[in-house]
Structures are given as structure tokens and as C-alpha cells.
Amino acid sequence: MAKKILIAGRERNLSHFVSMELQKQDYLVDYASTGKEALQLAHETDFDLILMSFQLADMGSRELSLELLRSKPASVIIVAVDSSEVAQHGQDILTYAVSYVVKPFVISDLVEQVTAIFKGRDFIDENCRQIKLHAAYRDLKIDFQNRTVTRAGELVNLTRREYDLLATLMYSPEILSREQLLERVWKYDTAVETNVVDVYIRYLRGKLDVPGQDSYIKTVRGVGYAMRE
């Protein structure tokens, strides 16, 4: 069954383009320009996810979210916030939403995040339903929100696939087999004969590892790979 998404946005053109991209992925999308309209639509339809502007014409995202969560506590909410407002309001947003996206954002990245949430693949803390925004291992740090990686404070340039593989490894508290990595990073849902995981592990080690120091990515013989002490 197609997932239902409600966009509550003050910027009609942006909402239109986001809606078009979401519909290309077979999502059913409704639009509301005000908080009052959003509440009415949410009362009539069980939406799987609600994407809202930080500030609507008649109410803010906090007020709207609390009204929605009061009647539908399982609502998944993402807030679109201006970059100038993140420092002041970012942490507060995460008390009522699973995540926020910073405007201007790449629409395709937002669509990927939505899809990942529905597939249960995103970096979500199941205890508090918040997307994990950062992770660190030794002097390696990853920013899931901005898809950046630094080592000892220096930016590491990775390809998209290298980043996805590293993010999956850094987030997981357990050892991941090649099959699990193929499923989560390459989306292979059946067994395939390929050494692509090992090849990309070598790529990552070539960019991350420091001569004379242990590799950041550990090989667990007969099991898979892990990033943990």
C-alpha cells in the first residue's frame, strides 16, 4: 500500500516540487498551506509522515506538531528550517520531530531520507524516535545531516557509495556481514556473488587509514566488518 505524506508548507512552489518528486516514488501526497488546514487533513487521513515548515502562516511547527501528536502519537514529523534558524531552534525541533532538513536542501536527498525512514534503514534511535545526527569512532566523525566525514578535524572526500558504506558501518553497534552490507548499501535483497563490499572497504581504508595505525574498519574473519573497539 502506498505511503501517505502530508506537506504543510508556507512556500507553495517548493512544496509543489517536493510533492512531484515524492509522487515519482509512488507516494500519495497532500498539501496544506496553513496549520489549521494541516490539522483538518490529518484528522481525515492517517498520514505516514508529515513534512512541515518551521513557521507556517498561522502557527509554528512546535504548536502544529504537539496538536498532531496529541491525537496521533505515532506521527513521523520532519521539519524544514532555514539555515539561519538551526543554531537557535535545531535541538528544540528534535523534541517533537524525528529530524529537520536545512533549507536550501537538495530535494532528491530529502526524498531518499523519507524512503529510508519508511524502509527502517535510516539512522534512527528506536528509543526516542530521533534520527541520529552524528557519530564518532576514534578521531573519525560523521555528520549524517550534512553527509560529511572528518578525520582529526580534516574533511575526508568520499564518493556517495563510500559515504553510504561508512555511515552504515559507523552507525551499527554490531558486526555486519557482507550480505547485510549488500542489502543496506547496495539494496540487493537476494544473495549475489560479488566482491563489491571488499572492494569498497579497500577504497575506504585507502582514504581513512593512517600508516602505522590500526585500520578504522576491522575485519572479523568469517563474519564481516565492524567499526568498534
Q: Which pLDDT band holds residue 143 (cuts at 50, 70, 90)? A: confident
Task: For 67-123, write each residue's pLDDT tens digit.
Answer: 888 877 667 889 999 888 888 888 888 888 878 888 888 888 888 888 877 765 445
Contact 30, 77 (CB under 8 A): no
Whole-angstrom distance, CA of residue 142 vs CA of residue 76: 24
From CA 8, how far away is CA 71, in angstroms rounded? 17
For the cut 70, the answer to whether the pLDDT of residue 131 exceeds it is: no
- What pLDDT is stored for residue 53 in this prediction? 95
Pair 24, 66: CB distance under 8 Å: no
More confident position, 218 or 190: 218
Reference 101, options 120, 88, 114; nearest CA is 114
Side chain identity at residue 34, one-letter code: T
Number of CB atoms found within 10 A of residue 74's CB = 8
pTM of the model: 0.56
Look at residue 126 in the predicted model and tell me its pLDDT.
43
* pLDDT value at 127 more than 50: no
Average pLDDT on 120-145 reads: 65
Using pLDDT thresholds of 50, 70 and 90, give the confidence band for residue 125: very low
| Coil, strand or helix at 107 | helix
Going from the N-terminus, what domains does the chain have, and what CATH number goes with each?
A: 4-126 (3.40.50.2300), 134-226 (1.10.10.10)
Q: What average pLDDT does range 155-173 have in this prediction? A: 87
- Phi/psi for 120 (5° steps) reads 70, 20
What mean pLDDT, rounded, does the chain reach?
85
Instruction: Write out pLDDT tens, residues 3-40.
Output: 999 999 989 899 999 999 999 999 999 999 999 999 99
